[in-house]
Structure 1
Amino acid sequence: MNLKNNNKNFIDGKWVDGKSDIYNLLNPYDNSLITKIKLANKEQVSNAFNAANDAYKAWSSNPSLRKEVLNKVKNYFEDNQEEIIKLLALESGSTYVKSQLELNITIECITASINNVDEIGVTSLSDESSVKESICYKKPKGVISSISPFNFPLFLSIRTIIPALALGNAVVHKGDIQTAYTGGIIIAKALEEAGLPKGLFNMLLADPKEIGDIMFDHPLIDFVSFTGSTKVGMHIGAVAGSNLKEVALELGGNAPFIVLSDSNIDAAVNAAIFGKFIHQGQICMIVNRIIVHEDLYDEFIEKFVEKAQSLKFGNPLERDNVIGPIINESQINKIKSIIESAKNKETTLALEGKQIGNILTPTIFTDVDNDSELAQTEIFGPIASIIQAHSDEDAIEKANRTEYGLSAAIFTSDLEKGEELAKNLEFGMTHVNDQTVANDEGAPFGGIKKSGIGRFGFPYVVDEFTELNWVTVRKADENKYTREFQGEHDL
């Protein structure tokens, strides 16, 4: 994987410097400079959409080429795993455990996409005896606009880009510029080396303040896929909707982790630690509220605090560390302000974290009011809020009391009860005896309420990136219309 001096945009099959400002890409662990990037301007974004629109029709009619290219892309990620893991650490502060997880699900997504290349095509809806042949064509949407965040930059980009390409579309992609390499450059490099025809994938390094709404209101866009905050997602949905453009929006979360009175407490503690502190809590599915039955409440807190205190932190390049840096200073200050606000409201503090450089160690609040600002805020940091439930019903009711609905988890030794209660949780995804951060390419990934609309995973994502075209062909019948006017109707 040779990325030396490769810090450019990829437009219409060419690596080009942007025509806007210079951006300093920094390592979030020590603020050291990784590279300088010349960002794309609005004209270059428009050029990317023009290139994509010109390219996709020939691509969509060639399934064998799509399979060949995507298999080479898969090989690229398999062959360059160590370099990619290092880039994730340097650029996004991802620890080894998190980077390995992200790379694994990235490869799984590519594999699933290859297996679904033939989902576009034709289906007969009539039998041979019908006087009218009825046909359904499943066709690519056309030009997909893809916008991804910094936290899982590789996977949250790939899960739109590769399925969209597999299903015959072209893609214009803008990742977060804080993760320019893992959220864009290495993906473009993989597709280029795999022989993807020019124009089908365009990768932009751009500042939203510079390019405005063009990624979701350009006239050539046929579909918008966005992963990010609810606030931005609502804006994108409003703008795209006003132009009748379809969207898939995976937005914020406030995941409850419910521990019922019959739970295996040690298993629950271990899962909650992983689900709360992986990637420093910077995941939309992260455990945000830990709701524990009163029978296990004190014991859970004791064991959870002990485990959290033992977590190793530091440079994510060192594989033993499981907590790395927060992505930037602004996010650090936001998390610290949430902590200070909760302390000022005299919320019980079971473990007070520290700031060591750009790392925040775990902070744990207990006896948290489920309706408090602390409990109802998507924190995106290593802060745990533990809430007491007085019954199973109380736990479910508290879990549902949020405007979000992405992921949830329930711990119980009664699997039948766990599954039944899971159906009563108002979330797009619920996991029994597991934590909330999960992905399965064969399952419908997505949320409800203010956590977004649309689903990833196969075959569900096929509906997002394709459209249906109904065609009928009436067999020769010269007297049809004469008969209909005489009252002999044959529809």
Structure 2
Amino acid sequence: MRDSFLPVGLWNQRYFTGRWETGPLPTAAVIEPATGEQLGQVANADAARIAQSAQAAKDAQASWFARPYEERAAVFRRAAQLGHEHFDDIVHWLVRESGSTRAKAAFETSISIKALQESAALPSRSQGEVLPSTPGRLSLARRRPLGVIGIISPFNFPLYLAMRAVAPALAVGNGVVLKPDPRTAVCGGFVIARLFELAGLPEGLLHVLPGGAEAGAALTSDPNVAMIQFTGSTGAGRKVGEAAGRHLKKVSLELGGKNSLIVLDDADLDLAVANATWGVYLHQGQICMSTGRLLVQRGIYEQFLARLASKAKSLTVGDPATADVHLGPLINAQQRDHAYRVVQAAQQAGATLEAGGNFDGLFFQATVLGGVTRDNPAFNEEIFGPVAVVVPFDTDEEAVALANDTEYGLSAAVLSQDVGRALKLGEQLRVGLLHINDQTVNDEVINPFGGVGASGNGTSIGGVANHEEFTQWQWLTVKGDAPAYPL
């Protein structure tokens, strides 16, 4: 391997507890989805290893929070600088292990570095408020770290969706146990471990433990873990939320979506197709914010559909490690088969196949389905593949009804040359993220990010939400002398 930042010999058959450790644990192969090549192996954590790490993180957390704020902030500034220095190596792992195109991998690396930079500012931020009180008593409300945060992260934006939780959780004084998706344990876990190791994070504060369902269940039940931050599918999120709630843990759930991009009849068609292409096909559609429905007003529907189909047919699909392609591979055969099943079922239910619809290995063609109705499987299911689902509508009121016809509530977007009209429509949509004259896939690190309904439990992560999310309020009062109570 060419990577000098994170050589295979460092992490092969290991996990990270502040140092690289081997153990009597089963290993999982690290597979490059584009080629099927095995890149190495990671040690899978079991419940016992999770418990040991949670205890170690708890032991390390108090002294970490007691350090001067500037000392803590310096770790994140160093980690961000290391991210810049090893930018190409990080991109390399995202391309090979997650199937990202180079452009997507570079973007993901950039915003992950930005998350480190933003987290460097958290230790110096105000930690609370002075409250009104009676004379002679000082009353304070202050934010305190929760203790140990358990983070369960996904495969699709593996580096960023882990970093956006790991960095702020550490910055406000917590310890962290990260369980990355075992399919992307290197780019979604060990890259983060290596950055913080080289940046001088105290040993034992961050643990990176790949593993399956057993490891995740152990995190949600461990008494030393105060909070679970989970990003992944809605089905898995329901189980995580149930388990965490049973153990009275704080829980943040960032889940799936069936996101609508509404194209009104006064929209610029070229811009509409460009926005739709990005929202549907970025990272092969494997993004929670991907545009799952293209709702297009009847007057421009046929033109839009034809232009989008032509665009989809022009998109290249292949190995992003060896060619400059628009779409890389899907993560595995299970995901490919799910996308293919939905496309086939959609056609059987009356949709028309305008482009794509087939695959070669894990390489799925950019696909366009037209004439989709509300009772079509493609209208309702989250596909997580490069499939455009195009639905005609007549009135603005119908567009609102179609967009809200889902249990999800993550992202939505409206395209129109009449901003007032678009905003009036958008304000009726039940989503956590709303974009006027843009597409559905947006995140700038400094914004609060979260969905409603089956897309999450109403929490937000990112930007101004981070301090709230990874700390808890403590009320503190101080008097010069203890009062003499009459009882």
**TM-score interval for Structure 1 and Structure 2 normalised by the shorter chain:** over 0.9
Query: Is the contact between residue 177 and residue 206 of structure 2 (CA under 8 Å) also seen in structure 1?
Result: yes
* CA distance in structure 1 between the partners assigned to 2:56 and 2:462 by the alignment: 27
- Structure 2 CA distance for partners of 1:392 and 1:481, relative to 1, 3 Å: same
Q: State the shift of 1:460 in Å.
A: 1.0
Q: Deviation per CA, 1:142-163, whole angstroms, max 9, x where unpaired?
A: 1000000100000000001000
Amino acid at match of 2:143: K
Stretch deviating more after TM superposition (193-202 or 96-105)? 96-105
Partner of 1:287: 291
Partner of 2:119: 113
SS at match of 1:5: helix
Q: State the shift of 1:123 in Å.
A: 3.2
Amino acid at match of 1:66: R
Query: Is the contact between residue 18 and residue 40 of structure 1 (CA under 8 Å) also seen in structure 2?
Result: no
Partner of 2:340: 336
* CA distance in structure 2 between the partners assigned to 1:321 and 1:12 by the alignment: 37
Partner of 1:277: 281
Q: Deviation per CA, 1:293-325, whole angstroms, max 9, x where unpaired?
A: 001101100111111111122111245211000
- Structure 2 CA distance for partners of 1:39 and 1:10, relative to 1, 3 Å: closer
Counterpart of 1:102 (choices 108, 111, 114) is 108
Counterpart of 1:47 (choices 45, 52, 57) is 52
Amino acid at match of 1:407: S
- Is 1:373 aligned to 2:382, yes or no? no
SS at match of 2:20: strand
Partner of 1:306: 310
* CA distance in structure 2 between the partners assigned to 1:231 and 1:119 by the alignment: 36
Partner of 2:74: 68
Query: Is the contact between residue 180 and residue 205 of structure 1 (CA under 8 Å) also seen in structure 2?
Result: yes
* CA distance in structure 2 between the partners assigned to 1:186 and 1:199 by the alignment: 17
SS at match of 1:108: helix
SS at match of 2:25: coil
Q: How does 1:212-227 map to 2 (within 5 A)?
A: 213-227=217-231
Stretch deviating more after TM superposition (162-171 or 11-20)? 11-20
* CA distance in structure 1 between the partners assigned to 2:42 and 2:411 by the alignment: 36
* CA distance in structure 1 between the partners assigned to 2:298 and 2:87 by the alignment: 45
Query: Is the contact between residue 60 and residue 205 of structure 2 (CA under 8 Å) also seen in structure 1?
Result: yes
* CA distance in structure 1 between the partners assigned to 2:441 and 2:338 by the alignment: 23
TM-score where L is the length of structure 1: 0.94
Partner of 1:33: 38
State, as a whole percentage, how many aligned pairs show the same letter.
35
Query: Is the contact between residue 8 and residue 40 of structure 2 (CA under 8 Å) also seen in structure 1?
Result: no
Query: Is the contact between residue 350 and residue 366 of structure 1 (CA under 8 Å) also seen in structure 2?
Result: yes
CA RMSD after TM alignment: 1.6
* CA distance in structure 2 between the partners assigned to 1:323 and 1:300 by the alignment: 21
* CA distance in structure 1 between the partners assigned to 2:148 and 2:156 by the alignment: 25
Amino acid at match of 1:40: A
Counterpart of 1:464 (choices 450, 466, 469) is 469
- Is 1:421 aligned to 2:437, yes or no? no
* CA distance in structure 2 between the partners assigned to 1:456 and 1:104 by the alignment: 18
Q: State the shift of 1:477 in Å.
A: 7.2
Amino acid at match of 1:378: E
Query: Is the contact between residue 9 and residue 205 of structure 1 (CA under 8 Å) also seen in structure 2?
Result: no
Stretch deviating more after TM superposition (32-41 or 46-55)? 32-41
Q: Deviation per CA, 1:410-447, whole angstroms, max 9, x where unpaired?
A: 00001122222221110000111111111022321110
Query: Is the contact between residue 350 and residue 371 of structure 2 (CA under 8 Å) also seen in structure 1?
Result: no
- Is 1:445 aligned to 2:473, yes or no? no
Q: What residue ranges of structure 2 are gaps of 5+ in the alignment?
A: none
- Structure 2 CA distance for partners of 1:156 and 1:308, relative to 1, 3 Å: same
* CA distance in structure 2 between the partners assigned to 1:257 and 1:212 by the alignment: 34
Partner of 1:256: 260
Q: Deviation per CA, 1:341-367, whole angstroms, max 9, x where unpaired?
A: 222223222123331232011121111
Q: What residue ranges of structure 1 are gaps of 5+ in the alignment?
A: 486-491
Counterpart of 1:316 (choices 315, 320, 327) is 320
Counterpart of 1:351 (choices 351, 355, 362) is 355
Query: Is the contact between residue 30 and residue 357 of structure 1 (CA under 8 Å) also seen in structure 2?
Result: no
* CA distance in structure 1 between the partners assigned to 2:103 and 2:66 by the alignment: 40
Counterpart of 2:64 (choices 59, 67, 82) is 59
Partner of 1:79: 85
TM-score where L is the length of structure 2: 0.95
* CA distance in structure 1 between the partners assigned to 2:63 and 2:207 by the alignment: 17
Q: State the shift of 1:41 in Å.
A: 2.1
Query: Is the contact between residue 133 and residue 475 of structure 1 (CA under 8 Å) also seen in structure 2?
Result: no
Query: Is the contact between residue 139 and residue 476 of structure 2 (CA under 8 Å) also seen in structure 1?
Result: yes
Query: Is the contact between residue 73 and residue 122 of structure 2 (CA under 8 Å) also seen in structure 1?
Result: no
Q: State the shift of 1:11 in Å.
A: 4.4
* CA distance in structure 2 between the partners assigned to 1:319 and 1:191 by the alignment: 32
Query: Is the contact between residue 146 and residue 173 of structure 1 (CA under 8 Å) also seen in structure 2?
Result: yes
Q: State the shift of 1:332 in Å.
A: 1.2
Partner of 1:489: none
Query: Is the contact between residue 340 and residue 358 of structure 2 (CA under 8 Å) also seen in structure 1?
Result: no
Q: State the shift of 1:406 in Å.
A: 0.3
* CA distance in structure 1 between the partners assigned to 2:312 and 2:405 by the alignment: 27
Stretch deviating more after TM superposition (47-56 or 94-103)? 94-103
Partner of 1:408: 412
Amino acid at match of 1:295: G
* CA distance in structure 2 between the partners assigned to 1:18 and 1:392 by the alignment: 59
Amino acid at match of 1:294: R
Counterpart of 1:363 (choices 356, 367, 387) is 367
* CA distance in structure 1 between the partners assigned to 2:416 and 2:203 by the alignment: 52
* CA distance in structure 1 between the partners assigned to 2:375 and 2:125 by the alignment: 45
Query: Is the contact between residue 29 and residue 358 of structure 1 (CA under 8 Å) also seen in structure 2?
Result: yes
SS at match of 2:224: coil
- Is 1:123 aligned to 2:148, yes or no? no
Q: State the shift of 1:212 in Å.
A: 5.7
* CA distance in structure 2 between the partners assigned to 1:264 and 1:341 by the alignment: 32
Partner of 1:151: 156
Query: Is the contact between residue 9 and residue 203 of structure 1 (CA under 8 Å) also seen in structure 2?
Result: no
Partner of 1:178: 183
Amino acid at match of 1:337: R
SS at match of 1:102: helix
Q: Deviation per CA, 1:374-428, whole angstroms, max 9, x where unpaired?
A: 1110000011110011111111111011000001110000112222222111000
* CA distance in structure 2 between the partners assigned to 1:289 and 1:78 by the alignment: 36
- Structure 2 CA distance for partners of 1:159 and 1:477, relative to 1, 3 Å: closer
Q: How does 1:134-145 map to 2 (within 5 A)?
A: 134-145=139-150
Q: State the shift of 1:141 in Å.
A: 0.9
Query: Is the contact between residue 152 and residue 216 of structure 2 (CA under 8 Å) also seen in structure 1?
Result: no
* CA distance in structure 2 between the partners assigned to 1:33 and 1:465 by the alignment: 37
* CA distance in structure 2 between the partners assigned to 1:458 and 1:346 by the alignment: 44
Q: Deviation per CA, 1:198-246, whole angstroms, max 9, x where unpaired?
A: 11100002222x4361011111111100000001101111111111111
Stretch deviating more after TM superposition (226-235 or 315-324)? 315-324
* CA distance in structure 1 between the partners assigned to 2:415 and 2:259 by the alignment: 14
